[in-house]
Structure 1
């Protein structure tokens, strides 16, 4: 009787301990902050971590923080959960990874894109005032082109017919409080036009190199890595849906005289949690 009693009591405890240790710890969903220097990535990261705006400096290395979705934003997976439910609180947590925007340090971002394990989405932060001028627009478009092309390669290079999990992109048009900032719809149009030019210049360079080495057209076509639909005509963000990547543009500002306005960005994150 003693043996039976001990077995009945200890067996569930031992089984629980065994299963608990064998189970892999839950990894929080990750969002990558990508964009050129000075766009406001680190400022947004600080806001998400501290719930307050703080002075920031140019990043030289990636920085990962654990953030909590602000009050008023409900994760899509918890619309029917009570706020007092522990699962509801867990669903509000996510990781935010800030990557340096300097041209020589962008390999931190590209390396994560090559193997985006547990990446739920990408927040590409742009300076809405900077893209109103040609130098800022060209730099932003070139970087965004490379990011979208990396996501497209990931999709087209999948070894299964199902394809990899979709990684949507939010173009966070920051600094909307500035007088010279473009509205989100114009930011979208300007970036699409600039990316079309980037695509043309890369195509021309590829063709020139092909002619220089005497490559045949068929071989040259195999080497082409066009962004969007075949590389012909104008580029539109809607073309990325064929590569499993939805792209949206939402305006906001992390710092401003009239306060912080990043609710649309957090709402986009909430929809993916």
Structure 2
């Protein structure tokens, strides 16, 4: 028995062809396997993402094609969410790369991220709400596209239909983000989740500039908040047993609503103008810059 074991060991360590082949295969494959394991362990499995929302007709899906291809393409009414992988353009620098040396090879890499486009029709907005209700560890921000040319009204004292629709949708998005903060189980709260209000179609003569878009949405959300609060209070008076969740957007639902109030729940809001389609082409540099600040 000992002799047979000794013979096997002698053959295994001897200069035979099978031993040489096996040794060469192990020597070549082992470093590759170790590198692959370490790379997968340290490389994030998911890219950072941005949620793209907004009413129908705001130019949201056209913006998605510009992000993806650099130029707008014909679109149709979105029925289901879609996700595309996008790369930051060379003209925009990610915030995480601002302090890296020019000689650092990683500084020349253009970050990749995902954009999740959701339907804007009123009956399909549950897709966007579901994205916000479930945990999204890689979500870096929300881009809310609004048609700035549909926000002004020809009738004094009456809100434009486009303004009312956009403000109602934005109100519901912000209320979900506020509940995300107030319902957090830890005292620290969830991480910051910025919101970009992309005021689209600024190339049109009837479009409101970004600052007026901001004030118009704040005023309309104030009106919507007051109307909904009154409706809930009236329901509670009629039925004293009604247990309604009363969470008003902003500072307790009193006074004027301002976007700055959302910073208290880790939701900074920025309004930036631009246009997806125009006589001189797309102008979305301000939106690219905002995305770069979040990466």
Q: TM-score, normalised by structure 2?
A: 0.83
Residue in structure 2 matching 1:151, options 170, 177, 180: 177
Q: 1:120 to 1:66 in 2, by over 3 A?
A: same
How far apart are 1:22 and its partner, in Å?
5.1
The SS at the match of 2:151 is helix
Q: 1:76 to 1:230 in 2, by over 3 A?
A: same
Residue in structure 2 matching 1:251, options 259, 263, 273: 273
Q: 1:154 to 1:118 in 2, by over 3 A?
A: same
Question: What per-residue deviation string (whole Å, max 9, x for no partner) do you get for residues 179-237 of structure 1?
Answer: 10000000000000000011011101110110111259xx77xx311100111000000
CA distance in 2, matches of 1:214, 1:47: 53
CA distance in 2, matches of 1:126, 1:13: 50
Aligned residue number for residue 290 of structure 2: 268
**Count of residue pairs brought into register by the alignment:** 267
Aligned residue number for residue 142 of structure 1: 168
Report if the CA contact (8 A) 1:124-1:170 is conserved. yes
Structure number with greater Rg is: 2
Report if the CA contact (8 A) 1:38-1:127 is conserved. yes
Name stretches of at least 5 consecutive residues in structure 2 with no aligned partner: 1-12, 154-159
How far apart are 1:258 and its partner, in Å?
2.1
Aligned residue number for residue 230 of structure 2: 204
How far apart are 1:83 and its partner, in Å?
8.4
2:249 is the counterpart of 1:227: yes
Where in structure 2 are the equivalents of 1:98-137 lying within 5 Å? 98-115=117-134, 116-133=136-153, 134-137=160-163
2:61 is the counterpart of 1:42: yes
2:265 is the counterpart of 1:239: no
Residue in structure 2 matching 1:166, options 166, 173, 192: 192
Name stretches of at least 5 consecutive residues in structure 1 with no aligned partner: none
CA distance in 2, matches of 1:107, 1:147: 11
How far apart are 1:162 and its partner, in Å?
1.1
Residue in structure 2 matching 1:30, options 49, 69, 82: 49
The SS at the match of 2:65 is helix
Q: 1:82 to 1:153 in 2, by over 3 A?
A: same
Q: TM-score, normalised by structure 1?
A: 0.90
The SS at the match of 1:271 is helix
CA distance in 2, matches of 1:32, 1:172: 13
RMSD value over aligned CA atoms? 2.4
Aligned residue number for residue 195 of structure 1: 221
How far apart are 1:16 and its partner, in Å?
3.7
